[in-house]
Amino acid sequence: MTDTNTTDTATPLSFTTEDARWVAVCTKDSAAEGNFWFAVTTTGVYCRPTCRSRQPLRQNVRFFDSPATAEAAGFRPCKRCQPHQPEPYIEGEHVQAIEQACALIRNSESAPTLATLAATVGMSPYHFQRIFKARLGVTPKQYAMTLRRQRAAEMLPEADSVTAAIFDAGYNNGGHFYSESNDTIGMTPTTYRRGAAGETIRLGVAECYLGWVLVAATPRGLCAIDLGDDPHALEAGLRSRFPKAEIARDASLAAWMQQVVRFLDAPESGLRLPLDIQGTAFQQRVWAALREIPAGSTLSYTEVAERIGAPSAVRAVAAACAANKLAVAIPCHRVVRQNGELSGYRWGIERKRRLLARERQK
């Protein structure tokens, strides 16, 4: 797999004349998305060129270069295609197309090109990439790179060599893997493959109002804050992740432990400790947004997706929350369903409920 197989660039077609724009409206040409908007004088509504509403008469149609100019002319946005939203309009058929493209990427030995993916699902490359990124929060190329890194990380512990894992995962240039891997797995590939052999991880366990909390740190900062009912099970879980690391309880971590316990009791005070955050670029965008949610407040998964500029990537946001390994420091417990109800939580739904109740009492 080479990084040049899938590109992040796509050139929109030209829709500069009214005749070309009218043809695009009649054919609901997806390539016209983002190039212009049209309004219907008899309804007072403006739409995207791909809107599925009933086709208007040509004499009742006006064209605009932006939603702002359409609204300045007195037209209101269509409730169906939501032309004022910055991201593309995503219908059920688009979701199916994206799922089909994701399956193709997952099942291919090398990353399909953007043109190949778009042709497979029957879209222009420009429109397909916009729809894909709006839904998942990443481009097709970034999605393929993430899958490739995950495959390599999964293969490393059992592979005959680091080189074998790299090439089996789809890389044909080891340099690309080494440049990508440290942000994802938090250590060198050789160290990770060896069960974190040579990596030093200090840990401490303490009681708190949520049961027990395990705090683990690498030389770079906190790499885990785990909550549970059994301190021995928490430690065993950390050791199973890194079976060959030098993991030991360390009295010198006591000061950090105390800060974490105090932080759990009073999260509004903040946690001023370095974090060793490991994740994909998209996960880190989500986690950064979570850390901006004030204690005592909540956001829905949809609202988090909107904050990171990917309003259709709701499922991907939920997956990033589930992948968080730093309880409360990255406050995924402050993300709830659209109706305000609590959803799943890595450390148990009841702990999520208690965390939120405590924060709201402060």
Per the structure block, which two tokens stand in for 217?
């740190």
Determine the Cα–Cα distance for residues 85 and 67; give it in Å rounded to an integer: 9
What is the predicted pLDDT for the residue at 5?
45
Predicted pLDDT at 8: 45
pLDDT of residue 41: 94
Cβ–Cβ under 8 Å, residues 214 and 238: yes
Q: How far apart are CA 291 and CA 272, in angstroms?
A: 12
CA 89 to CA 47: how far, in whole Å? 10
Sequence-distant (6+) residues with CB within 8 A of 60 are 40, 41, 42
Q: Is 82 left (phi over 0), alpha (psi -120 to 50) or beta?
A: left
Fill in the amino acid letter for 274. Answer: P
Helix or strand run (H / E) with residue 38: strand 37-40
Model pLDDT, residue 70? 92
pLDDT value at residue 150: 64
pTM comes to 0.51
3-state secondary structure 212-242: EEEEEEECCEEEEEEEECCHHHHHHHHHHHC
Q: Supply angle C-alpha 38, 88, 330, rounded to 5.
A: 145
Cα–Cα distances (Å) from 95 to 136, 233, 321, in that order, read 10, 40, 22
Tokens of 125: 């490359």
Do residues 278 and 196 touch, judged by C-beta distance below 8 A?
no
Our answer to whether residue 208 is catalytic in this structure is no
Per residue of the chain (362 residues), give pLDDT as tens.
334 444 444 434 467 888 889 988 887 776 777 788 999 999 999 998 888 788 899 999 999 988 889 999 999 998 877 887 765 555 556 777 888 888 888 777 777 899 999 999 888 888 888 878 776 667 888 777 777 766 655 544 444 444 444 444 444 444 444 444 444 444 444 444 444 455 788 899 999 999 999 999 888 788 889 999 999 999 998 888 777 778 888 888 888 999 999 999 888 778 888 887 777 677 888 888 898 898 889 999 999 988 888 887 888 888 889 989 899 999 999 999 988 889 889 999 999 999 999 888 86
List the catalytic residue out of 78, 81, 321, 332.
Answer: 332
**CB count in 10 Å sphere of residue 4:** 9
Task: Specify the pLDDT at position 9.
Answer: 43
Rounded CA-CA distance 208/210 in Å is 5
Q: Any catalytic annotation for residue 102?
A: no
Q: What is the pLDDT of residue 90?
A: 56
Catalytic one among 26, 47, 51, 102? 47
